[in-house]
Amino acid sequence: MGLIKSWVVSANSPDCDFPLNNLPYGVFDEGQGARMGVAIGDCVLDVAKVEHGLDAALFAKPEWNAVMAAGPQVWDALRSRLTELLSDETNRAAVEPHLVPLSDVTLKMPFTVSEFTDFYASKNHAFNVGTMFRGPENALPPNWLSIPIGYNGRASSVVVSGTDVRRPWGQLKGPNDELPRFAPCARFDLELEVGAIVGQPSSGMVSVDQAEKMIFGYVLLNDWSARDIQAWEYQPLGPFQAKATATTIGPWIVTRAALEPFRVPTPERERPLLPYLHEPGPMLYDIDLSVGLAPEGKGETIIARTNYSNMYYSAAQQLCHHTTSGCAMRVGDLLGSGTISGTDRDSRGSLLELSWGGREPITLQTGEKRSFLEDGDTLTLYGAAKGDGYRVGFGACTGKVLPAIEQPEWTKEQG
Ligand code: MN
């Protein structure tokens, strides 16, 4: 499939993230209150204002949850109608007044997150981290090749791109410390992930095929992680406070329909999966991903480049597994893929791996070194599926690290 041409000229440029092939959904504010928008070229379309042909109630509240809940027929109808409105020149006069330049808007949370689950489903990442924590022989836990491992996180910690993230305090204990201490995190990190958004509810077990059809779209996701807090707290129940500071999502939901031409299969199985996890077809996507790090007031260095196809389990398999217990899923549930790492050093999706536990700091273009994040660092995730003469981009997912708060009195030793 090639570029679908739009009368919005900027949308036809091969390096534009938002051609007509994409039509990602977000929420914007140009100073008159938040509204639902669709990115096209260098603009956002105020979707409620055009002749969309759907129930106006779907656009009454500035979040995409009602559209998701309305189901796949509405998803398809909206996408076809938007394609018609933005491709056919005869609609231009009616639609153009409702285009707002992206440079004039602030982007808000695109949907209300119902619940957040995070996985651990890139084999290279699991192997790298396991090697650091337990040695290469025991790197992959015995269940890893059979189960898409995950934990239930918190929706309250999910924030939109552009939100500052404050370095957390926590309980730390180094390998040579006798006792833990309470201190600001010294090993604050990112996790390059893609989030899948559940657009249809379920009660009880669903198949991989059904799970796939429940997914509305995808966002970039940075799962900020406090590695020193994590190292002390993670056994036996997994991460808790280490992952609860913030998870930043990108402002644009790229729909499953937009990603359709970019399907790729999951890698070959190293151990046969149980039948319930078998995929009926290719369910991953070929999406180039990268991470930029800019120290305070300085230029950005791309510190990692990888691809979503490095996942061992697809989002559909993760969602299917999530329901095996009978766990109900809700519209607006967010599933983090887990850190996505490739096999090369510069394809690792976390500083923990890039600096190999802090032992091999990376050098930025500014000459500065980084093992973990420093105060004032701004991180930006990028993602795009590359077509023939066009790209389906996710926009930038950014966040800046602020210093830890002053130590609260009640956390100090009493003299
Ligand atoms: Mn994560």
Q: Using one digit for the tens of pLDDT, what is the confidence trace for 1-23?
A: 899 999 999 999 999 999 999 99
Query: What pLDDT is attached to residue 194?
Result: 98
Instruction: Indicate whether 220 and 326 sit together in one domain.
Output: yes
Instruction: Indicate whether 191 and 58 sit together in one domain.
Output: no
Measured in Å, residue 102 CA sits from the centre of ligand 1 at 30
Measured in Å, residue 126 CA sits from the centre of ligand 1 at 11
Of 86, 108, 130, the domain-final residue: 108
Instruction: Indicate whether 368 and 386 sit together in one domain.
Output: yes
Query: What pLDDT is attached to residue 128?
Result: 94
Measured in Å, residue 90 CA sits from the centre of ligand 1 at 46
Query: What pLDDT is attached to residue 17?
Result: 98
Q: What is the mean pLDDT of residues 317-342?
A: 98
Measured in Å, residue 308 CA sits from the centre of ligand 1 at 14
Measured in Å, residue 121 CA sits from the centre of ligand 1 at 10
Instruction: Indicate whether 84 and 126 sit together in one domain.
Output: no
Query: What pLDDT is attached to residue 276?
Result: 98
In three-state secondary structure terms, 78 is: helix
The CATH number assigned to the domain holding 145 equals: 3.90.850.10
Query: What pLDDT is attached to residue 107?
Result: 98
Task: Report DSSP letters for 300-333, one per residue.
Answer: -EEEEEEEGGGBSS-HHHHHHHHTTT---B-TT-
Instruction: Indicate whether 60 and 147 sit together in one domain.
Output: no
The CATH number assigned to the domain holding 76 equals: 2.30.30.230
Of 316, 271, 314, 315, the C-alpha closest to 142 is 271
Measured in Å, residue 367 CA sits from the centre of ligand 1 at 29
Portion of the chain with pLDDT greater than 70, in percent: 100
Query: What pLDDT is attached to residue 133?
Result: 80
Instruction: Indicate whether 87 and 135 sit together in one domain.
Output: no
Give the H or E element holding residue 225.
strand 225-226
Q: Which domain holds residue 127?
A: 116-404
Query: What pLDDT is attached to residue 337?
Result: 98
Write a three-state SS string for 343-404. Answer: CCHHHCCCHHHHCCCCCCCEECCCCCEECCCCCCCEEEEEEEEECECCEEECCCEEEEEECC
Whether 413 maps to a domain, the answer reads: no
Whether 4 maps to a domain, the answer reads: no
Strand 397-402 to strand 165-166: parallel, antiparallel, or no bridges (unpaired)?
A: parallel
pLDDT band at 148 (very low <50, low <70, confident <90, very high): very high
Whether 40 maps to a domain, the answer reads: yes
Query: What pLDDT is attached to residue 175?
Result: 86
- Alpha-carbon 395 to chain mean position: 11
Q: Is the pLDDT of residue 25 over 90?
A: yes
Q: Calculate the alpha carbon distances from 161 to 156, 221, 378, 389 in Å.
A: 15, 9, 11, 28
Instruction: Indicate whether 101 and 62 sit together in one domain.
Output: yes
Length of the chain: 415
For the whole model, what pTM was predicted?
0.98
Q: What is the mean pLDDT of residues 284-307?
A: 98
Rounded distance, CA 204 to CA 364, Å? 48
Whether 52 is catalytic is no
Of 108, 131, 165, the domain-final residue: 108
pLDDT band at 414 (very low <50, low <70, confident <90, very high): confident
Instruction: Indicate whether 77 and 198 sit together in one domain.
Output: no
User: Quick count: other Cβ atoms within 10 Å of Cβ 265?
Assistant: 12
Measured in Å, residue 258 CA sits from the centre of ligand 1 at 25
Q: Are 257 and 346 in contact (CB under 8 A)?
A: no
pLDDT tens-digit readout, 238-275: 999 999 999 999 999 999 999 999 999 999 999 999 99
Portion of the chain with pLDDT greater than 90, in percent: 96
pLDDT tens-digit readout, 186-233: 999 999 999 999 999 999 999 999 999 999 999 999 999 999 999 999
How many structural domains comprise the chain?
Answer: 2
User: Quick count: other Cβ atoms within 10 Å of Cβ 222?
Assistant: 28
pLDDT tens-digit readout, 65-115: 999 999 999 999 999 999 999 999 999 999 999 999 999 999 999 999 999
Whether 200 maps to a domain, the answer reads: yes
Whether 414 maps to a domain, the answer reads: no
Catalytic, out of 52, 98, 125, 321: 125
Whether 334 maps to a domain, the answer reads: yes
Q: What is the Cα gyration radius of the chain?
A: 22
Rounded distance, CA 340 to CA 348, Å? 7
Query: What pLDDT is attached to residue 415?
Result: 67
Q: Are 257 and 216 in contact (CB under 8 A)?
A: no
